[in-house]
Every structure is written in C-alpha cells, then in structure tokens.
Chain A
Amino acid sequence: MSAREQILQRVRAALADAAGPPLPPPSISAAVDAAGDLAERFKARLQAVGGECIDAGHGAAADAIVERLAALAVRTVALGGGDELRAVAAALQRRGIACLPPTAAPADLFAADAGVTQAQWGIAETGTLVLDADAATARAASLVPPLHVALLPRDRLLPDLDAALAQLPQPVPHAVTLVTGPSRTADIELQLVVGVHGPRTLIVVLA
C-alpha cells in the first residue's frame, strides 16, 4: 500500500464517527474598526511598523520615486514589471540611474541598491502591500536589494485582509506576497534589528 493510501485510510478510520461543526462563513471583517480615510489609516499603520509613506500627487509618482532614490544615493535599480513603472524607467534614465529590467535573473539583483515594484493592493488595516506575481514581476526586486520602493495607486487601497483575500484573481496567482514594513528580527537578546534578509528600508509611494 502506498503512503498516500496508508495515511488516507488511517484518517478515514480515525474519523469514522467524528462529527465536526459546519464550516463557518469565510469573512470576519465586520469585527474590524473601519473608521477613517483608507489612505490615512494605511499611512499610519505603515509608519507604525517602520515603513515610509510618500503621498505623491496624481501623475507625480515617477518623479517622486526618482527624487527619493537620488537623495538616497541609489545608483542601480532593479525594476519590477508592470505598465505603471514605465514612467519610472524613463525618469530613472533621465536622472542617469542604472536600471535592471524585470527580466533580469534574480541572482543578478544582489548588486542592486534598490528595487522598485508595483503593488496590486494595499491593506489599510495593517499598512500591508499585496504583491501579485502574476500581475507584475516583483518577487526578487522587492526582496533582494536593501531598499524597496513600491508604487501603490490610491484606488487600490482596501480596508482589511478579508477584502484583499477576496479580491485575489481566480485562479489564484502563483505567488502572492504580503509585505508589512521592512524585514526585521529580534533574535539577538530580543533587540529589534531592521533589515535582516529582506530590505532594511521600505518606501511606499501613493499615487
């Protein structure tokens, strides 16, 4: 008998007369405080976990991103995929900042100073970014360089986690990454250190 059959048979035998409760309905979001402007809440939560939020005016996001990158002396940027980043690529070029394309091999991103990606959604409840790898390449660019800048359209803000999970396309993308603040650890004497394996700095530009 295969291990599969063995395990399933054990489970069936064990549960022969087990009666579980019915499956509860999926959403619990009504329990969460939903007051206040989504962008304001998103910003406050993001800052509370050590992230930075830049409120760029409509159409000014690309320039705001490149300004910030230049101020941080960034020389090489790993660019994620997505139409909304085309303007960023052009602005980077004007500014003379080198750019690795979304198709670059992830192993090449280790030399980049920053990664710029699009975020598909933002969650106001926790200041969280939702990166959908099917919609736009972003997995390595948002992870490997020490600085991650994410472009988040304001109309993509959702109130809570439930809304974000319900919003995911069907079939579900092959990789969905939720990002809440910069990478962190407290493994040495419980002291908080920001920037372990992921980015030390997270900047969200609201467009």
Chain B
Amino acid sequence: MSEHLPMERFDRNALDALAMPGQRAALRAATELFGERRAAALQRAPAFDAWRDHARAVKDHVLANLHRYLEQFEAAATARGTRVHWAADAAMACDIVAGIARAAGARTVVKSKSMTTEEIGLNDALAAAGIDAVETDLGEWIVQLAREVPFHIVVPAIHKTRAQIGTILHAATGVAADADARELTRAARAALRERFRTAAVGVTGANFAVAATGSILILENEGNARMCTTLPRVHVAVVGIEKLVPRLQDLAVFLRLLPRSGTGQDLTTYQSILTGPRPASASEGPTELHVVLLDNGRTRMLPQRVTRQALACIRCGACLNACPVYQQVGGHAYGSVYPGPIGAVITPQLVDLGRARQLPFASSLCGACRDVCPVRIDIPELLLHLRAEVTQAGGAVPGGARRRLQALAFAAFAFAMAGPRRYRVATALVRAADRWLPWLVRRLPPLSHWHRGRELPRLARRPFRALWQERP
C-alpha cells in the first residue's frame, strides 16, 4: 500500500525532490498562493496577533492541566452517550476502530481527512482486518487511488497535475482523462455519494474536543466530513489527547485563527460541533458515536516546556507554506505524516529521534515558521533543542564532516580578523588566490559540494582599502 519515503534519508529524499521540476512548480504555486491568501486574510483581521496570544494561553493552560481536562471530557462525553476509548499507541487505536467496524458489520468505512488516522496507519490496519477504508476528501481520495501518501496537510494532492489526476480518476470513475477540474470533481462526487449512502461506519479525526461538553469539532470545506458524521449508523473519531479546549466559547478564537492561517479563508465552509449520538427525538445522525483518545507518543512531549509547545499545534499548514525548505522539497521528502517545520519537530518526538534524526536539521532556522504560527510555537527553538539531543546522543549528524570543516573555516576567519596586520596578510593571500580559487572550488570536494548550489563571488578589481587611501 502507500508507503512513506524513509525518514532516515531526508538528505537523499530532498535531492530526489529537487530533481522533479514539475513537482517544484506545483509547490511554488501552492505555497505562494496560500501565503498571499493568508496575508490578505490577516489584513482584514487587525486583532490577529491578540488572537494568537489568546489561543496560545488557552493551549498552555490546557496542556499544563491535561489530565483534569481529559477526565472532564470523558465524563461529559459519556454522559451524552458517547463511548470514549483510550489508546496508548497506534496499534491499540487501530484495533479499537477495527473492532467497532467489525461489530457494526461494516465491510467498508468512509473516512474524512484526518492526520491522526494517517499517523496510526489506520487504512492499512483496516485492510488487514478485511475492511475497506475509502478516503472521501477529494485530494485525499486521489492520493489513495494513486497509492501514495499526502504531500501537503491541507491540499494532499497538490503535487499532481490535472492530467495525472485525470488519468487516476478515469481509471476509478470512467470520466474522460482530459476533463477539466470541474468535471473531474463532479465525477468524484458521483462516485463517492454511493459510498456515503451505503456505508455503515464513518471515521474522522477532530480539530478540537471540548472538555466541558464532551463535544468534538470538525472543520472542512467539501462536506465529506458532514457526510461521514451524518449518514452512517456509526461514527468513530480518532482524537489526539492534545486537542482539548476547556469550554465551547474557547472554540471562537481557534476558528478565527485556523482557516485564516491554513487557506486564508475567514472561516471554512463547514464546522460540525458534535455531542453524542442522535437522541431518541432525532430522525437522523449516527446512533453510535465513539471517540478514541490517542496518546501515541504525545505524553513524551509533555514534561518539558520546550517540547510541550509542539502539542499546541492546530495543524493549519501555515509553517509548511512559509518554509523555504518545504517550498523546495515538498512533503514526501520528510518521510512522515507530518512534513514541513512542524513535522521536523513533531516526527522525531512521536516516532523516535534515532530514525528521524535528520529532520531537525532540515531547516535554515530562518524563523518564518515561528512568524506565521497562529499559536506562536517557537519552532526554531524546538529544532535547536532536538539538534542538541541528536548531537548528545552521538551518532552521525547530517553533514557532520562539513560542519567540522565549517568550524575550521570560521576559526581561521576569526584569527585573520583579529588584528590589522593579520587582516592585511590574509586579504593579500586571498587576492593572490583569486585567480585559481573558483577553479579549485569547482573541483575539490567538499568545496565542490558547496559550489553545486552556489556561485563563488569574485573579488572587486581594486580593494576598498586602496580606494580609500586614494580618495581626494
């Protein structure tokens, strides 16, 4: 089935991605568009920075009192007839969902886009249990049909051209392979409606869970999450334990931040606030609602303040669009469900630092991710923290040899700059070498590796000091 690239080899994956011009053009279009839309949405929201502070304070409060809010959520949800399950890890969560689907007699479940179910590998686990999981978000369905993994957390199939999608949907629905985006979308709609109509179980994630009321909230634009939570007899939501907010009113600030940061919308088309299965008085909606509370490594991030902040993430994708590394290499290179800057800090903590040790180095530390984060996660701080952990744990650091050479170069530079005589001698040497230096840099490893992506600047014809002395 769909496999991620090996996260151990971000360096190689990134080089491979750089050699795919079509994919890079699509990436540029997407990240630029979302960046512009976000900026425009923020123009219309002068209080945005105050909202960010507010939202982060809510998250910090919840995370520091997480056990209390988890118990409160469980009690409130249970009182409304929701069945609350706890899953310590991915395998346990998959078993719970498969068990629910089996008990419902489901051969097929319909799914709406959910990072959490991707994280636990639910589709493969259900397939192993003989249950077919059908993704219903358009981009996610395309990626599933192509037997790939999502490329972007908001627009999963952004790396595919319309022609490629046409071929995929032609095979699945019979629509003309050269159809336009509207016709392709219409064909997908028609094909998936039958699934919605007949599926016994709908599986979703949740963007937020409300402790006081036991509610979950799902945001979307397409309507497939509403289908999955309205039509099937059974609804299962897999929810990370960090998704809690205390009160219903706390949702307002997050609903203001999330769509603006992700797609530049003031609000996504639909929000479903779901509290328990249908009551006896209602004629529609699921008769069973299950919430699976998932740990799967999250509690490992809780003890330290610096790592805990990653649990404030609301999965908007803004840091992906802003990141100069993501903009070039895209989502697959990270080899994880969570790509981009937030992925580079979450993956090593969720999976294990050994396997993901290259990811904290997949950043120039420019800070663009921190600048756009709606809950002000200091991702560069986290990256440095994880780099320190990787280094302390020993083992190869990406570009370790290069780093030693760099340290040597900087030491030499510092020595040469430390006195006027040294400086004069050093510049005279460099000037003497200027003729053959570019030739050397082009050919001599490891300098030639550096040269692959850069041009060595040439010296000015006459040094500044000479010009200065000649001034009238």
Binding site for B on A (CB under 8 A): 2-4, 6-8, 10-15, 18-24, 26-29, 31-32, 45, 49, 102-103, 106-107, 110, 125-126, 128, 133-134, 137, 139-140, 143-144, 160-162, 165-166, 168, 171-191, 193, 195-199
A-B contacts, CB under 8 A, total: 257
Q: Which residues of chain B come closer than 8 Å to A102, judged between CB atoms?
A: 283
A187 to B153, CA, bound (A): 12
Nearest chain B CB to A138 CB, angstrom units: 9
B222–A183 touching, CB < 8 Å? yes
B283–A137 touching, CB < 8 Å? yes
Q: Which residues of chain B come closer than 8 Å to A180, judged between CB atoms?
A: 266-270
Q: Which residues of chain A come closer than 8 Å to B92, judged between CB atoms?
A: 3
Q: Which of A6, A22, A144, A197 has the most CB of B within 10 A?
A: A197
A7–B284 touching, CB < 8 Å? no
Interface-facing stretch out of B64-72, B328-336, B391-399, B420-428: B64-72
Q: Which of B67, B215, B247 has the most CB of A within 10 A?
A: B67
The contact string, 1 if C-beta is below 8 Å from chain A, for chain B 267-296, is 111111111111101111100000001010
Q: Which of B158, B182, B226 has the most CB of A within 10 A?
A: B226
A143–B230 touching, CB < 8 Å? yes
Q: Which residues of chain B come closer than 8 Å to A21, judged between CB atoms?
A: 57, 60-61, 64
Which residue of the partner chain, among B181, B249, B256, B274, contacts A189 with CB atoms under 8 Å?
B181
A161 to B272, CA, bound (A): 14
Q: Which residues of chain B come closer than 8 Å to A14, judged between CB atoms?
A: 299, 302-303
> What is the chain B residue whose CB lies nearest that of A32?
B47
Number of interface residues of B (CB under 8 A): 100
Interface residues of B in 150-193 (CB under 8 A from A): 155-158, 161-162, 165, 181-182, 184-186, 188-189, 192-193
A11 to B186, CA, bound (A): 46
Nearest chain B CB to A125 CB, angstrom units: 8
Binding site for A on B (CB under 8 A): 26, 29-30, 33, 46-47, 50-51, 54, 57-58, 60-67, 70-71, 80, 86-88, 92, 136-139, 142, 155-158, 161-162, 165, 181-182, 184-186, 188-189, 192-193, 196-198, 213, 215, 221-224, 226-227, 229-231, 241, 246-253, 255-256, 263, 265-279, 281-285, 293, 295, 299, 302-303, 305, 308
Q: Which residues of chain A come closer than 8 Å to B241, judged between CB atoms?
A: 7, 11
A179–B284 touching, CB < 8 Å? no
A19 to B64, CA, bound (A): 6
B185–A188 touching, CB < 8 Å? yes
B64–A197 touching, CB < 8 Å? no
B248–A183 touching, CB < 8 Å? no
Nearest chain A CB to B301 CB, angstrom units: 8
Q: Which residues of chain A come closer than 8 Å to B162, judged between CB atoms?
A: 188-189, 191
Which residue of the partner chain, among B70, B185, B284, contacts A106 with CB atoms under 8 Å?
B284
A29-B252, A172-B215 known; A2+B230 contact, CB < 8 A: no
Nearest chain A CB to B246 CB, angstrom units: 6
A160 to B251, CA, bound (A): 13
